[in-house]
Amino acid sequence: MSKEQHQLKASNPIGIFDSGIGGLTVASAITKLLPNEKLVYFGDTAHLPYGDKSADSIKYYGIRISQFLLEHQCKLIVIACNTASAQAFETIKDFVGNKAIVVNVIDPVVNEVAGMASSKHVGVIATKGTVKSDIYAKKLKTAKKGLEVSSLATPLLVSMIEEGFFNNKISRAVIHSYLDRPKLKKIDSLILACTHFPLIKPEIEEYYKHKMNIVDSAGVVAQEVAQVLKTNKLQNKLKNPRHQFFVSDYTDSFEKSTHYFFKGKIKLEKADIWK
């Protein structure tokens, strides 16, 4: 790429990637807040879920997907996956360099929770990879002294959501089984530390009888993206932008989910970037 191509342009799209449909919650929140922005979304369905993959594998996936998004001239890349944000953010940021701005989904949520006066004991539910990294506990305790953090790995939830099991008896049974664990008994706030989890947020709220402060990343990250674009004077003014959705392996559930979040006709394209 030439230096001219490295210059960030307001008219260029926002790139978003995740292991599957979870990042669509972030993408949807961004389009609602920033309707003039074009999105290029990559769902790495061939390697779903990221939560049980090694850190080296996730870094490799993140670099290759970021390269793909740079080839589509993305001005900003959102790592719409907590596991990838926890284990590959710095690697991806170094790889991208000055070719795009990189935003993760963890730091905006940490800042949001740290600013909440009512939070004294925060629960975190996430994939094995995110919990193993202990990144939320470390960052939250640094951001807010004296804060207690209890993290619980909930590995079944991502696969359950990807298969379309939410808002039914099966999902409620699995969700209740996790939330009943002693580790989460004394929390006053709960972070849904996986971008898939907003899809089951109503069921989680129901479990807590709507009395728990529940924080999901979608809206918080959308606000962060809006602020970053404003700060860097990169706000697009495009009318009726045409978004692009790519997957590394076609799945019915992903196609259904794109139509669920983005009303109207969505053309889903397969991009085999691993060859």
- Residue pair 172/203 in contact by the 8 Å Cβ criterion: yes
The encoded tokens of residue 191 equal 């972070």
The answer to whether residue 74 is catalytic is no
Query: Among candidates 149, 204, 214, which has minimal Cα distance to 177?
Result: 204
**CA distances, 176 to each of 60, 160, 161, 197 (Å):** 35, 14, 15, 14
Rounded CA separation 89/62 (Å) = 8
Rounded CA separation 175/67 (Å) = 36
Distance from first CA to last CA of the chain, Å, rounded?
21
The encoded tokens of residue 134 equal 């202990």
Catalytic residue among 58, 70, 81, 84: 81
Catalytic residue among 125, 194, 234, 247: 194
Pairing assessment for the beta strands 213-216 and 189-192 based on DSSP bridges:
parallel
**CA distances, 63 to each of 5, 56, 58, 70, 90 (Å):** 19, 11, 9, 10, 11
The answer to whether residue 81 is catalytic is yes
- Catalytically active residues are 81, 194
